[in-house]
Amino acid sequence: MGRGPRFSFNQVFSAVLWGSALIVLLALGGLILLMGHGGWQAFVTFGPGFLVSAVWNPVTNQYGALAPLLGTVLSTLIAVCIAVPMAFGTAFWLTAIAPRRLAGGLSTAVQLLAAVPSIIFGMWGFFLIVPFMARVIQPFLNHHFDHVPVLKALLCGPPFGSGLMTTGLVLAVMIAPFITAVMCDVFEAVPPMLKESAYGLGATRWEVMRYVVAPWSRSGMIGAVVLGMGRALGETMAVTFVIGNVTAIGWSLFVPRTTVASLIALQFPESPAGSLRLSSLMALGFILMALSCLSLILARYLRRQRA
Amino acid sequence: MARRQRCNQLATVLSAGSGVVLVLVLLSILWTLLSRGLPGLSLATFLHPMGPPGSGGGLGNAILGSIIQTGLAMLIAAPLGMCCGMYLAEFDGSGNRFATTVRFVADILMSVPSILVGLFIYQLLVAPFGHFSGFAGAVALAVLAVPLVIRTTEDMLRLVPVAMREAGAALGAPRWRVIVSLCLRAARGGITTGLLLALARMGGETAPLLFTSLGNQGWSLDLDKPMASLPLAIYQYAGASYEDWVQLAWTGALLITVGVLMINIVVRLSSRR
């Protein structure tokens, strides 16, 4: 057991660990660089107009990012608006109201739902939700709200069943379990003494939630919501199945649209290497990357602010 | 008083309702998978490769391809992620900018849309070589798994008491020995859990494989060639208008979901004990 080799192995070991950390750093650097490099041609050709142009025409080789970007942002917004109240309610119920044994089983079920692969949600949406929207929801809405001025614009369109609303629903179902799981953890972390004293003052369960638990865990909840939003932003397979994939913009939530991720997934195989079309897809990917990084940084910032 | 009680009741009903809706969705998905996937399940599903519609094809090559690619991805991601996690947990002195950056980068990598990872590996390993390959698919999956492994390794190592490290150091063990033989051993259970969950996540990923391993209709063990995988087969078959293809898509979906859920349930049961 000489002293020398042992010492050097220690150094080799820490060098290996340091190197692996460096590889992870380089992976993200490479990701950003290669996406930017791939999209360079499109950025140079179209300039800033790329962001605001609604044209996506492979025939005339004209590409703009507005339609897929709007689709991504709107479907994510719809998903978040549906998923957040649902997740909050479920987490509230599981942590404060449901009987202990039932809550254990149900929270496992919710966590399992979060583990289901996204392509399964895609198939489920495609074979169940899309026909349901087309045959039940859309005719119902069209029949009852046809004469209301603003709603009419949001609801119009032939009953295909696919569109932003359907996508938002499926995405909401996908991210709600995830947000619920994180919120449950956050709620459980509230010191029991705070809750007990509020109960001692005669507060109802809802009041304890509203005035003690929620303010205490606000930063964690915001983090959960933003992380869920990030998932919805980049979700590909589930969206590709249910959004209908038409690059157009308009008011209706019930006609086929597209998102950045689904456009990339569908058009990539048809885009020859080195073409302007491929470059435009890469540029879209770069923008999506920026969006998802921004949402993560926002989540961290908010968490640090209120912690 | 009555108003407060009503508020409470309303909140209770609404929150119980949202919980019930979520569980109903899970049941609906499971029921759909079972009722549409089970009828197509036979020995041929596992033994026959995919084939043209009406040829009695199965999913054998896709299942094998999935196993090969996730296995290889695990072989890449596990050592890399564990080394990086060890670095973050053990070598992060006060004010270590590098470690802080790496931790942040791992967080970003964890939330990068998986389809972008596919584009990245396409640019890195497919475009320069001029052909799609199973290896590229495995690397793409590994990129998705690494941040998960890093996170669990670091978290688990941080749970190991400092006293244990001090005891090791007091016995004269070098640092690497303390980390590998004491800390890593103590954190073994949690790290295995993380690895299994990463495996489950990779098994269902589709988007990153679209541009890297592309998919393949026949048997192939060659990592340098396009390779089939279960999620890609589902994606290809689900939208088709041939009945037997749609049936195979459902069967494949059932297989994947059962696999992923089994891993999750096993992990949960074993970590509860």
Structure tokens at B185: 């051993």
At residue A117, the pLDDT reads 93
Minimum-distance CB partner of B113 among A20, A241, A288:
A288
Q: Are B147 and B109 in contact (CB under 8 A)?
A: yes
At residue B38, the pLDDT reads 93
Averaged pLDDT of chain B: 91
Tell me the C-alpha distance between A119 and B231, whole Å.
7
**B51-78: average pLDDT:** 92
> Of how many residues is chain B composed?
273
At residue A5, the pLDDT reads 55
Q: Is B4 on the interface with A (CB under 8 A)?
A: yes
Distance from the Cα of B160 to chain A's closest Cα (Å) equals 19
Q: Is A13 on the interface with B (CB under 8 A)?
A: yes
Q: What is the DSSP string of A154-207?
A: HH-S---S-SHHHHHHHHHHHHHHHHHHHHHHHHHTS-HHHHHHHHHTT--HHH
Comparing alpha-carbon positions, the chain A residue that sits nearest to B122 is: A34
Residue B58: is its pLDDT beyond 60?
yes
8 Å CB contact of A117 and B256: yes
Tell me the C-alpha distance between B69 and A123, whole Å.
23
Chain B residues within an 8 Å CB radius of A14? 87, 91, 175-176
Please list, in sequence order, all residues whose beta carbon lies within 8 angstroms of the beta carbon of residue B230, skipping any fewer than 6 positions away.
B59, B62, B63, B65, B66, B203, B252, B255, B256
Tell me the C-alpha distance between B125 and B111, whole Å.
22
ipTM associated with this complex: 0.91
At residue A1, the pLDDT reads 47
Residue A197: left (phi > 0), alpha (psi -120 to 50), or beta?
A: alpha
Q: Which of residues 197-256 of A touch B (CB under 8 A)?
A: 204-207, 209, 227, 230-231, 233-237, 241
**B94-102: average pLDDT:** 86
Beta strands (DSSP E) in chain A are 56-57, 62-63
Minimum-distance CB partner of A112 among B16, B99, B261:
B261
Tell me the C-alpha distance between B62 and B59, whole Å.
5
Please list, in sequence order, all residues whose beta carbon lies within 8 angstroms of the beta carbon of residue A123, skipping any fewer than 6 positions away.
A241, B234, B238, B249, B250, B253
How many CB pairs lie under 8 A apart between chains A and B? 253
Residue B92 banded pLDDT, cuts 50, 70, 90: confident
Tell me the C-alpha distance between B212 and B209, whole Å.
5
Q: Are B233 and B206 in contact (CB under 8 A)?
A: no
> Of how many residues is chain A composed?
307
Structure tokens at A23: 């590889």
Q: Is the dihedral of CA A172, A177, A182, A184 positive or negative?
A: positive
For every one of its 307 residues, what pLDDT tens digit does chain A have, with 9 covering 90 and above? 445 555 578 889 999 999 999 999 999 999 999 999 999 999 999 988 898 888 898 888 899 999 999 999 999 999 999 999 999 999 999 998 888 888 888 888 888 888 999 999 999 999 999 999 999 998 888 888 878 888 888 888 888 889 999 999 999 999 999 999 999 999 999 999 999 999 999 999 999 999 999 999 988 899 899 989 999 999 999 999 999 888 888 888 888 999 999 999 999 988 888 899 999 999 999 999 999 999 888 888 877 765 4
At residue A72, the pLDDT reads 95
8 Å CB contact of B176 and A13: yes
Comparing alpha-carbon positions, the chain A residue that sits nearest to B19 is: A90
Comparing alpha-carbon positions, the chain A residue that sits nearest to B143 is: A27
Q: Please tell me the pTM assigned to this model.
A: 0.92
